[in-house]
Amino acid sequence: MTDTPNRFPKRTNLMEPTMTTDAKREELREKIEVAEARQQAREATLSERARDAADTAKEFVKEHPVATMVGGVAAGLLIGSMFKGGRNVGKQVGRRAGGLASTARTVGMAFARDAIIAAGTAALTGRDKLEDIGDSASDTARGLRRSAGYTAGTTADTARSLTRRASRSATRAVRDARNRIGK
What secondary structure, in 3-state letters, does 15-84 show?
A: CCCCCCHHHHHHHHHHHHHHHHHHHHHHHHHHHHHHHHHHHHHHHHHHHCHHHHHHHHHHHHHHHHHCCC
Q: Which pTM was predicted?
A: 0.32
Task: Give residue 170's identity as a one-letter amino acid code.
Answer: A
Task: Give residue 82's identity as a one-letter amino acid code.
Answer: M
Are 61 and 68 in contact by the 8 Å Cβ rule? The answer is yes
- How confident is the prediction along the chain (183 residues), in pLDDT tens digits per residue? 455 555 555 555 555 556 688 888 888 888 888 888 888 888 888 878 878 878 887 888 788 777 787 787 777 777 766 766 555 655 666 667 667 777 777 887 888 788 888 888 888 888 888 888 888 888 888 888 888 888 888 888 888 888 988 888 889 888 888 888 876
